[in-house]
Structure 1
């Protein structure tokens, strides 16, 4: 019997927290030999960061800043019965920005990302209004916190796309980043709905574009055939100016799923997907590996997150995003209990997640 929507939603949110916490110790080792020397040939659980690393001072099983911001977004959605941008900005001004300093190796979680450092300088030092503080980071910070919105609005793709686009624009100015952020969020929403991460998912996402639910520019017919005027929705009927330039972010997941399911495409061990698609932090390196691992291990949370983790580089985000996608596919009950028990904030995060899914 297929998991319920709430079971999938709980799996996605807790899967993200687990993936983020798994990455706290071995985060950002680009020399895989060094990572193996520090943590052994195969990392299979929460680990404590070394004293000279990015999250020094945290204990094994603690979430760091990406997890903290995801938690804050979930709390915001509960309190406001959905996304309210003014209230989100007020929360950041009062509850987050005073805790950071614009320095990298400081703040909650032991490390502050580029986009949050830029936000602090623009908002606190320069006292700029919120509509003038976005930076040019090409990374995944918006995806990370907006996992909560993707789950909350899983049945309302139009609200999902508009709210996540607006939230992304607060901190990251590149429209391509917003496009790929909404694309990942839409994939997660589809999995919450009960769809599969397979070669057909992109066609289903494109149907949502045709229906005016996702703000992507589309100039082709079905299956990327030449367009028929009678079948193409007019852009002016949807979002007017400011559409995402192309739907390619929605097409990528199916290609990664095909690669995972094609016996003639061999990536062994699976963690080497991080090398194939790229170990750095940029969103265009991150998402292909996440989609590949999430499709390959669609029924195996443990192996999926551990291969994401053992690939090194930006493994914390890779594991967090993979954890959300696989968690949505297997449901909370199929997440190994040791990953739940090992979380330092287990009781708080479980209570938050239960309260959160009652809202959806």
Structure 2
């Protein structure tokens, strides 16, 4: 396996896990006062959204991505029906936070729809944030990667802009694995053409803010889960910290809001130019799903 592909997947999961404790704290000043500079894993509030989780665990976004990774490992490629079956089984018995998109998707499955039509109408970026395992598994098949990235997103988030965002970031990470610098990979991914998502506007906003303080820039764009606010923030993170993964993921958390979805995508694209040894060892050691992730990555290669 490409060492960069492995680092890409690990960095995406790390971006999610670092956000677990402070996730959905929208007041950046209050976040800093409570947590200080978040440079490692933090356990969530026992009375908060992620009650029961431990430091180094994944949010519900990361847990769903683990399901996709396991499906890829067991099936030897992307199989939407298998991913759907595994996802439904996991989320029906999930003891963590269940967001609105997940609740609606489960209801649509209950109505008898298949995974091609099961997605909620949520415009949350989270639906696009799961794509790192697909980029790894399909890194030699760009058309297959694009199709899979769109299909896995549509299964839970049947919203045109979220589906196209998944394609955009899959293309960008694929470009970095191929040797392009992250900023250039973003620019080339935007050239693919998108019918619904204003990718060019989001890209320009994020790139133009590359020299700004991250907390201020993401505060200006918006800290929410919604794609129109979240997309420029992810692009800002990648452009500002394309050579500094630790700063990228740390400052993402300090900006507050839905830092988990942003962190998964920014970690993926910035991590795709690294090797696992370039990732802080404390982050690798404390990632509670690390053994499962690395085992599934080895199975994907086999």
Query: Which residue is 1:224 aligned to?
Result: none
Q: Does 1:187 align with 2:181?
A: no
Which deviates more from structure 2 when the two are superposed, residues 194-203 or residues 14-23? 194-203
1:157, distance to aligned residue in structure 2 (A): 1.8
Q: Does 1:313 align with 2:299?
A: no
Query: Which residue is 1:285 aligned to?
Result: 229
Q: Does 1:352 align with 2:302?
A: no
1:140, distance to aligned residue in structure 2 (A): 2.1
RMSD: 2.3
1:302, distance to aligned residue in structure 2 (A): 0.9
CA contact (8 A) 2:130 2:264 kept: no
Query: Which residue is 2:206 aligned to?
Result: 256
**Deviation readout 1:122-172 (Å, 9 max, x if unpaired):** 223x44444443211001233222221123223322111222222222222
Q: Does 1:73 align with 2:18?
A: no
Partner of 2:177: helix, strand, or coil?
Answer: helix
Query: Which residue is 2:29 aligned to?
Result: 33
Q: Label 1:199 to 1:132 Cα distance change in 2 as closer, same or farther (>3 A).
A: closer
CA contact (8 A) 1:198 1:254 kept: no
Query: Which residue is 1:103 aligned to?
Result: none
Aligned with 2:101 (options 109, 115, 121): 115
Q: Label 1:33 to 1:296 Cα distance change in 2 as closer, same or farther (>3 A).
A: closer
1:202, distance to aligned residue in structure 2 (A): 2.1
CA contact (8 A) 1:154 1:190 kept: no
Query: Which residue is 2:120 aligned to?
Result: 135
1:177, distance to aligned residue in structure 2 (A): 1.8
Stretches of 4+ moved more than 6 A in 1? Answer: none
**Deviation readout 1:306-330 (Å, 9 max, x if unpaired):** 0011000111222222211111123
TM-score normalised per structure 2 = 0.90
Aligned with 1:96 (options 80, 90, 94): 90
**Deviation readout 1:34-59 (Å, 9 max, x if unpaired):** 3223212x111111111221111111
Pairs within 5 Å for 1:1-360 = 6-40=2-36, 42-93=37-88, 95-99=89-93, 107-108=94-95, 110-124=96-110, 126-199=111-184, 201-203=186-188, 206=191, 209=192, 216=193, 244-245=194-195, 248-249=198-199, 252-253=202-203, 256-257=206-207, 259-260=209-210, 266-268=211-213, 270-356=214-300, 358=301
Partner of 1:161: helix, strand, or coil?
Answer: helix
Gaps of 5+ in 1: 100-106, 210-215, 217-243, 261-265
CA contact (8 A) 1:302 1:336 kept: yes
In 1, the alpha carbon distance for the partners of 2:114 and 2:196 equals: 30
1:96, distance to aligned residue in structure 2 (A): 1.7
TM-score normalised per structure 1 = 0.77
In 2, the alpha carbon distance for the partners of 1:74 and 1:138 equals: 23
CA contact (8 A) 1:9 1:151 kept: yes
In 1, the alpha carbon distance for the partners of 2:254 and 2:178 equals: 30
1:334, distance to aligned residue in structure 2 (A): 0.9
CA contact (8 A) 1:19 1:323 kept: yes
In 2, the alpha carbon distance for the partners of 1:158 and 1:59 equals: 38
Gaps of 5+ in 2: none
In 1, the alpha carbon distance for the partners of 2:185 and 2:172 equals: 12
In 2, the alpha carbon distance for the partners of 1:129 and 1:199 equals: 37
In 2, the alpha carbon distance for the partners of 1:25 and 1:88 equals: 28
In 2, the alpha carbon distance for the partners of 1:137 and 1:246 equals: 15
CA contact (8 A) 1:12 1:328 kept: yes
**Deviation readout 1:106-135 (Å, 9 max, x if unpaired):** x34x211221111122223x4444444321
